[in-house]
Amino acid sequence: MTAAALELRQVTKRFGDQAAVDRVDLVVPHNKVVALVGESGSGKTTTGLLALRLLAANGGQILLDGQDLTPLSQKALKPFRRQMQVVFQDSYASLDPMMTLGEIIAEPLGIHGLFTAAERRDQARRWLEKVGLDAGYATRYPHELSGGQRQRVAVARALILGPSVLVADEPTSALDVSVKAQIVNLLQDLQADMGLSILFISHDLSVVRSLADEVVVMLRGRVVERAPTDMIFAGARHPYTRALLDAVPVLDPKARRRRSFMSAEEISARTPRYRAAELETQPLVDTAEPQLVALAGSHFVEAIVTG
């Protein structure tokens, strides 16, 4: 069986007594896009940073193409950094204002000792064109660009090393609707062209609908639902997922859902309940705590199980 491009197994991160990420399992298959969604504070960005080993986990494993990265030192991690790259939400803060766009995009090549200086400049110009900008932008500075253009530069910098895995952390949240769609389309094109595996982090289910193969929903540091994208939109089982879907804007007023705002107590009260015999795999039945259980067709939901 082929190893996943990226896999998290029971990954946990605590800040003091608070579990920001609580025993999360996550799989990003090769050449697929997995969306990690949830509201602010759900733990999704922390999960992305843990996946990249930019934060140290308190427990669990992070595997890149089957290789366990968890015990590796920062020095030992460097070769793997070429294979996993990130695009952050705030493109302006992530681009050095004192460097030209050409220098910014070429910088990862220099860090990894790849090519001559002239070749790195040529590569940077080619990547500007690949993300939809003119090669002449190489001499410009970040402050001269719009938000969407800066995000294209951030994408170019992340992909110039030819990684196999990209973590995109809210890359469209600061953009207006039309530019947001352009960046999503750009990522779709590059993903298909390069065979990328993408972990796309977002609070907005409407953004991920056309991009993601699978949706993973997080709440208070835990995965509460996971399923192929079509299943999530057609038949979400967890009340929190349904609340996120209610917030998705639609053009047809007849299709509009009534937006629901639920407290933590209300979400807990509406947690799905199943008998063990109804489930695809045998869950634990001696606990009153909700657990992620398998329904039909690769659909998982956090539920309370009775015997």
Number of Cβ within 10 Å of residue 294's Cβ equals 15
Question: How many structural domains comprise the chain?
Answer: 2
pTM: 0.93
Does residue 248 lie within any of the structural domains? no
Average pLDDT in the 112-127 region?
A: 97
Q: Do 98 and 230 share a domain, yes or no?
A: no
**CATH number of the structural domain spanning residue 56:** 3.40.50.300
Q: Scan for tokens 């015997």, then name that residue.
A: 307
Q: At what angle do helices 101-111 and 147-159 cross, to 10 degrees?
A: 20
Supply the DSSP symbol for 65: T
User: Which domain, by its residues, includes 123?
Assistant: 94-161
* pLDDT above 60: residue 254: no
- Kindly state the percentage of the chain with pLDDT values over 70: 94
Please say which residue of 145, 161, 177 terminates a domain.
161
Average pLDDT in the 229-236 region?
A: 95
Asked if residue 225 lies in contact with residue 300, where contact means CB atoms within 8 angstroms, the answer is yes
Taking only the tens place, the pLDDT of each residue in 131-189 is 999 999 999 999 999 999 999 999 999 999 999 999 999 998 878 888 999 999 999 99
pLDDT bin (cut points 50, 70, 90) of residue 232 is very high
The separation between the first and the last C-alpha atoms of the chain, rounded to the nearest angstrom, is 33
Please say which residue of 134, 161, 188 terminates a domain.
161
pLDDT bin (cut points 50, 70, 90) of residue 285 is low
Q: Do 140 and 102 share a domain, yes or no?
A: yes
Please say which residue of 236, 258, 292 terminates a domain.
236
Q: Do 40 and 172 share a domain, yes or no?
A: yes
Q: Which residues contact 147 (CB under 8 A, 6 or more apart)?
A: 91, 92, 174, 175, 179
Q: Do 12 and 79 share a domain, yes or no?
A: yes
Q: Do 229 and 133 share a domain, yes or no?
A: no
Q: Do 35 and 153 share a domain, yes or no?
A: no
Q: 211 by DSSP, 3-state: which?
A: coil
Q: Do 120 and 10 share a domain, yes or no?
A: no
* pLDDT above 90: residue 266: no
CA distance 170 to 61: 24
